[in-house]
Amino acid sequence: MAPITQASDDSNHQALLDKLDIYAVRKPWRTPHWKPPQRRNKNVKQIIAEASRKEASVMATQNNSGTSTPLPANSSMATGGLATPVNGADGNLNIAQAAQNLSTLVLEKNLRSAGASGGPAVTYTNIESAPSLHPSSQKRYCDITGLSAPYTDPKSRLRYHNKEVFAAIRTLGQAATEGYLAARGAHTVLK
């Protein structure tokens, strides 16, 4: 146990630790016989996978409902899908209708009417921002210096600003190259 703070030696450091420790502090408000459920620490991937599976099972039911209860094309409009800007164009819908199978059509309509009544349930995954469509997301910056990068090294796929940076790139090892690519999310991921 190495003391980190200044002005402390072994003896008063131990005293400090005793003061800070909350393991020995009485916690009367904890239910003594409560045991946490096993394996409650799940990683985010797991939690999200479970949540989306749950969502998917709801979607599946919607899909079933489509096959078993064909509805007249306009009924969902009548039930309140009227005002959403997305489905304003009825003509489009009818053209699309011919090309789609019935179940997906009903699914879509269900979703839309749901949208009218407050939108699909908001979930952790579906509020995530979508990929950018803005042209600025295509801007290229030098992987090494961050300046604008008109060039790309075909060998390492690194973007670079000028020939001096290029010379530096050429002296980089494999690991460093991958590191730079990883910082831009363009590295090769082996699975």
Partner 1 sequence: MVHSTPDEGSLPSGRNSPKPQPARIWSLSEPPFEGVRPVDSQGYRQSTPDTAIVIDNGSSTVRAGWSFDPTPRFSLPPLMARYRDRKLNRTFMFCGSDIYADGTARGQAKNAYEPGSNIVNNWDVMEGVLDYVFIKLGIDGSAGRIDRPVVMTEPVANLGYARKTMSEILFELYGAPSVAYGIDSLFSYNYNGGRNGLVISSSYMSTHVIPVAERKPMLSHATRLNWGRFQSAEYLQRLLRLKYPSFPGKISDTQAEDLVREHCYISQDYESEINRYLDWTGLEDRDHVIQCPFTEQLVVQKSEEELARAAEKRKEGGRRLQEQAAKMRLEKLIRKEQELEYYKSLQEGLVDLPKKEVKRRLDADDFDDEGQLDRRIKDMEKSIRKARNKDVGDAVEEEVEIPTFPLLDVPDEQLDEEGLRQKRGQRLMKSNYDARARAKAEKEREKARIAEEERLDNERRETDLSGWVEERRIARQAIIQKIKDRERLKADLGNRKSLANQSRMKAIANLASDDKGKKRRRGGDDDNFGADDADWGVYRTIATGEQSDEEEEEDLSANLKNIEAQLLKHDPNFTEQSTREAQTDWTKSLMHAFLHGPWPFDPESQRDLHQVHLNVERIRVPEVVFQPSIAGIDQAGIVEIAAGILTERLADSPHRTEILKDIFLTGGNTLFQGFEERLRNELRAVLPADSPLGIRRAKDPRLDAWRGAARWASQPASRNAFITRADFEEKGHDYIKGAGIARILSHPSHGNLAVALLARRPEPLNDLLKSLRSTSPDTVLEAFPTDTSPESLKKTFADIQQHESFKDLKLQLAIYSIKHSSKKPFMEETYESRELMGFSTMQDFTGSLETYVGGAFTFAQESLKCFFADHGETTLQEGGSKKGTIIFTGTLGALRCSAQFAAYGAGRASVRQLAQTLAREMSEKGIHVVHTIANGSIVDENGEDQKQGKKMSAEAVGKTYLWLSEQEPCLWTHELDLRPACEKF
**Residue placing its CB nearer to partner 1 in the complex, 18 or 91:** 18
Q: Taking CB under 8 A as the rule, does residue 11 contact partner 1?
A: no
Residues 63 and 58: their CA atoms lie apart, in Å, by 9
Interface pick for partner 1 out of 16, 82, 95, 102 (rule CB under 8 A): 16
**Residue placing its CB nearer to partner 1 in the complex, 20 or 99:** 20
Amino acid letter, residue 188 = T
Biggest CA–CA distance in the chain, Å, is 83
Question: Contacts with partner 1 in 76-135 (CB under 8 A)?
Answer: 76, 79, 83, 85, 110-111, 113-115, 117-124, 126-134
Question: Contacts with partner 1 in 133-162 (CB under 8 A)?
Answer: 133-134, 136-139, 141, 144-148, 161-162
Q: Is beta strand 159-160 parallel, antiparallel or unpaired with respect to 151-152? A: antiparallel
The contacts found for 80-83 with CB under 8 angstroms, 24 or more apart, are: 80/113, 80/116, 80/117, 81/109, 81/112, 81/113, 81/115, 81/116, 82/116, 83/116
Tokens at 6, concatenated: 């200044």
Q: Among 58-66, 94-102, 151-159, which window interacts with partner 1 (CB under 8 A)?
A: 58-66
Tokens at 102, concatenated: 């019935």
Question: Contacts with partner 1 in 158-187 (CB under 8 A)?
Answer: 161-162, 164-165, 168, 170-171, 173-174, 176, 179-180, 182-186
Q: Taking CB under 8 A as the rule, does residue 69 contact partner 1?
A: yes
For residue 64, the minimal CB distance to partner 1 (Å) is 7
Q: What is the dihedral of CA 62, 64, 69, 70, to 10 degrees?
A: 90
Residues 135 and 57: their CA atoms lie apart, in Å, by 37
**Residue placing its CB nearer to partner 1 in the complex, 51 or 95:** 51
Amino acid letter, residue 180 = Y
Q: Taking CB under 8 A as the rule, does residue 5 contact partner 1?
A: yes
Tokens at 104, concatenated: 């997906």
Question: Contacts with partner 1 in 23-42 (CB under 8 A)?
Answer: 23, 25, 27-34, 36-37, 40-42
Interface pick for partner 1 out of 11, 38, 68, 188 (rule CB under 8 A): 68
Interface pick for partner 1 out of 12, 64, 94, 104 (rule CB under 8 A): 64
